[in-house]
């Protein structure tokens, strides 16, 4: 019995030692990797070029190093002076929503992309549209097309959600705000009637009409008060109240 207890004690110490060695090895490996490639510390968060150049300040031309990293596929250019580390290097998924927030701001993701993200429309969306208080802009990069629609500051702040996904936090319109944004900026104007708006939602954008019962009426009312196309937004409120 005494010998058995001693063996168990030795085994516990051995296991503890092995676990400690494994933890220390992983820690040391991570430190070594970080020193080897400073891009890893940025993970999947967009980073400005002037911050990147500081990592290569010991080189004769840090800017040339950044261009080489982009050419090598380690960096992805989102726009002039803004990059994100490639997934092959960071081992983390690039989230297009956080990229959209950084490309042009203040802004939040909205309209069809947001409606698709919430599962409210079935079609795949290829252009990420955001809303901003600045002038309307469009950017294209290897991730896709990013467009930005201008609204008034008092309307901008209504119905914005903070979402955590892929290890980052980004701004996206609530379902109510995304639909109002789309109605306000859609070049096709649905008829000025409740019936016409219903047809627009159900047939044109194939909106999940059953989900309207879960909408926040106060958000819609505030959008109608401070946004454009007030009559159409009021018709949306009437549909919700039916």
Question: What sign results for the dihedral spanned by CA atoms 78, 171, 175, 158?
Answer: negative
Rounded Cα distance between 82 and 12, Å, is 51
Looking at residue 5, its pLDDT comes to 55
Looking at residue 113, its pLDDT comes to 98
Higher pLDDT, 8 or 184: 184
All residues at 6 or more sequence positions from 151 whose CB lies less than 8 Å from its CB, including other chains: 131, 132, 133, 181, 184, 227
pLDDT tier, 36 (very low <50, low <70, confident <90, very high otherwise): confident
Higher pLDDT, 13 or 234: 234
pLDDT digits (tens, 9 = 90+) for 133-183: 999 999 999 999 999 999 999 999 999 999 999 999 999 999 999 999 999
Rounded Cα distance between 62 and 37, Å, is 14
pLDDT digits (tens, 9 = 90+) for 39-91: 999 999 999 999 999 999 898 899 999 999 999 999 999 999 999 999 999 99
pLDDT digits (tens, 9 = 90+) for 80-137: 999 999 999 999 999 999 999 999 999 999 999 999 999 999 999 999 999 999 999 9
Average pLDDT, the chain: 89
């Amino acid at each position: 019995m005494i010998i058995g207890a001693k063996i168990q004690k030795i085994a516990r110490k051995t296991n503890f030692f092995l676990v400690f060695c494994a933890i220390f090895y992983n820690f040391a490996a991570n430190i070594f990797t970080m020193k080897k490639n400073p891009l890893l510390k940025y993970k999947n968060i967009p980073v400005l070029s002037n911050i990147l150049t500081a990592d290569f300040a010991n080189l004769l031309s840090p800017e040339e190093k950044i261009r080489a990293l982009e050419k090598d596929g380690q960096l992805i250019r989102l726009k002039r002076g803004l990059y994100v580390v490639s997934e092959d290097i960071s081992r983390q998924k690039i989230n297009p929503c956080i990229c959209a927030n950084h490309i042009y701001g203040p802004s939040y993701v909205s309209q069809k992309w947001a409606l698709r993200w919430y599962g409210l429309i079935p079609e795949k969306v290829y252009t990420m549209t955001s809303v901003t208080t600045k002038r309307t802009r469009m950017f294209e990069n290897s991730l896709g097309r990013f467009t930005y629609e201008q609204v008034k500051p008092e309307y901008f702040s209504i119905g914005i959600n903070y979402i955590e996904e892929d290890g980052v936090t980004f701004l996206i319109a609530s379902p109510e705000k995304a639909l109002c944004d789309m109605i306000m900026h859609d070049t096709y104007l649905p008829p000025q009637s409740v019936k016409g708006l219903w047809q627009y939602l159900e047939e044109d954008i194939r909106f999940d009409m059953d989900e309207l019962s879960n909408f926040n009426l106060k958000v819609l009312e505030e959008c109608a008060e401070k946004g454009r196309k007030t009559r159409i937004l009021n018709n949306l409120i009437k549909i919700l109240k039916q």
